[in-house]
Structure 1
Amino acid sequence: MRLTMPDAVKRFFAPAPESVPQARDFALRTLAAWDLEGRAHDVRLCVSELATNALTHGTHCGQGFHVTMSAEDGIVRVEVHDASPCRPWLRRPTNDDVSGRGLRIVAMLCDDWGVEERGATGKVVWSCFKTSRAAQGTLC
Structure 2
Amino acid sequence: MNSRMFPRSAAAVGRARAFVAGCIGGCAAEQADDIRVCVSELVTNALQHTPTGRRFLVRVVLNESVVRIEVHDASSDTPHLCTPADTDDRGRGLHLVDALADDWGVSDRTGPGKVVWVTFKIRTAAEVTCERHIP
Deviation at 1:71, TM superposition (A): 1.2
Deviation at 1:37, TM superposition (A): 4.1
What TM-score comes out, normalization by structure 2 length? 0.86
Q: Contact 1:31/1:37 (CA < 8 Å) preserved in 2? A: no
Q: Percent identity?
A: 44
Q: Contact 1:85/1:118 (CA < 8 Å) preserved in 2? A: no
Deviation at 1:118, TM superposition (A): 2.2
Q: Write out aligned runs for 1:1-140 (5 A).
A: 8-32=1-25, 35-38=26-29, 39-57=31-49, 59-118=50-109, 120-132=111-123
Question: How far, CA to CA, are the matches of 1:43 and 1:75 in structure 2?
Answer: 12
Q: Contact 2:68/2:120 (CA < 8 Å) preserved in 1? A: yes
Counterpart of 2:20 in structure 1: which amino acid?
Answer: A
What TM-score comes out, normalization by structure 1 length? 0.83
More helix by share: 2
Question: How far, CA to CA, are the matches of 2:123 and 2:97 in structure 1?
Answer: 19
SS of the residue corresponding to residue 86 of structure 1 reads coil
Match of 2:132 in 1: none
> How many residues are paired up?
123
Please identify runs of 4+ aligned residues in structure 1 that moved more than 3 A. none
Unpaired runs of 5+ residues, structure 2, are 125-135
Question: 1:47 and 1:90, CA in 2 relative to 1: closer, same or farther beyond 3 A?
Answer: same
Q: Contact 2:84/2:90 (CA < 8 Å) preserved in 1? A: yes
